[in-house]
Amino acid sequence: MTVLGVDCGGTNIKMALVKNNGDIAERALEPVNFRRPAARAIADIAGRILKFKSRMGLSRIPKIGMGIAGEVDSARGLVRFSPNLGWKNVPLKALLAKKLKSSIHIENDANCAAWGAFCLDSKRDCNNLICLTLGTGVGGGIILNKKLYTGSTGSAGEIGHMTIQHDGRRCGCGNRGCLESLVGAWGLIQTAKEGLRRGRAPILKKMLKEEKLSPKLIEAAARKNEPFSKKIWADAGECLGAALSNLANIFNPDRVVLCGGVSKAGSLLLKPALQALQMRAFETPVKAMKVTVSKYDEKLGVVGAALLTLE
């Protein structure tokens, strides 16, 4: 049995025919313009899915599992609020179902990634897993007792908006000192901009002539031994470590899986993070908790979205 997994990004959708063991049979990436009324964007998504179906020579559309950034009410098929897509209270499931004759399940994208990480890598030896998606923002998904935990009204898992510095930097969500504001790509770029303004990042400044500012560029400057850029990663790692320590003390999970672009900075981020985790958290949960960077990063969301429909 195969399921169609769909991962809605900000400018495109990722589609994949996913077997129930998590293998991908076929995949595609299609552009979708979300900067227009939701109904029109959704009609476009439906069209892309129909196109994918005919290209694959399928007689009918399989079951669909779809991941969306933002607050999703899965039970009612509603996207309550997605700042990324500019949606508020959009009945995504109903609008899609009108266009496609198929069973559809929608879920928050970080929850999908968590389920993907659990199914692809951890199902056998793991009961409790937390996934952190370190991208422009920071998302989270929580698997407890081998089930996705979504809370009382479906919005649990917003680990990126955990306060770890209660008088800290203002976050996009309105709060101060959120993990996301300190470790997300947006936060890293803000810190770099402050350093550039104060003339503290000459190597990074030089590199900006050829490429625009990104975590990847800050990483490159750090690898060229620029102290300020190295400190950005050390500080971000320390903050990530405080967050990991909170997860250890609160959830005592078997595993924390990191994914997303920022997680690619490797030891620049992970070394200070794991040091802070050791220093901060209780001994028993730290010993029990494996922290890994996912090797399946690109497909976690789409595979998880698909496999959640089988639950």
d(CA 173, CA 193): 20
The nearer residue to its own copies, 16 or 90, going by C-beta atoms, is 90
Distance CA 35, CA 215 (A): 25
Task: Answer whether 253's CB lies under 8 Å from 243's CB.
Answer: no
- If the CB atoms of residues 159 and 262 are measured against its own copies, the closer one turns out to be 159
Among the listed ranges 32-40, 136-144, 204-212, 267-275, the one in contact with its own copies (CB under 8 A) is 136-144
Q: How far apart are CA 9 and CA 1, in angstroms?
A: 26
Using the minimum distance from each CB to its own copies, give the nearer residue, 45 or 159: 159
**Distance (Å, rounded) from C-alpha 152 to C-alpha 108?**
15
Q: How far is CA 50 from CA 29, 44, 58, 96, 306, in A?
A: 13, 10, 10, 11, 17
Token digits for 3? 């399921």
210 burial (CB, 10 Å; 0-12 / 13-18 / 19+) is exposed
The radius of gyration of the chain's CA atoms, rounded to the nearest angstrom, is: 20
Measured distance CA(151)–CA(153) in Å, rounded = 6
Span from 28-36, 89-97, 241-249, 302-310 in contact with its own copies (CB under 8 A):
241-249
Hey, which residues between 65 and 84 contact its own copies (CB under 8 A)? 71, 80-81
* DSSP β-bridge partners for residue 105: 65
CA–CA separation, 211 vs 208, rounded Å? 5
Shortest Cβ distance from residue 286 to its own copies (Å)? 10
Report if residue 249 touches its own copies, rule: CB under 8 A.
yes
Tell whether residue 281 is a contact of its own copies (CB under 8 A). yes
Of 176 and 223, which has the nearer Cβ to its own copies?
Answer: 176
Q: What x/- string results for residues 162 through 201 when contact with its own copies is judged by CB under 8 A?
A: xxxxxx-----xxxxx------------------------
Out of 89, 193, 284, 310, the only residue in the binding site for its own copies (CB under 8 A) is 284
Candidate residues 2, 246, 263, 309; the one interacting with its own copies per rule CB under 8 A: 246
Binding flags for its own copies, 104-133, as an x/- string (CB under 8 A): -----------------------xx-----
Interacting residues toward its own copies by CB under 8 A: 71, 80-81, 127-128, 140, 142, 144, 149-159, 161-167, 173-177, 238-239, 242-243, 245-246, 249-254, 279-282, 284-285, 288-289
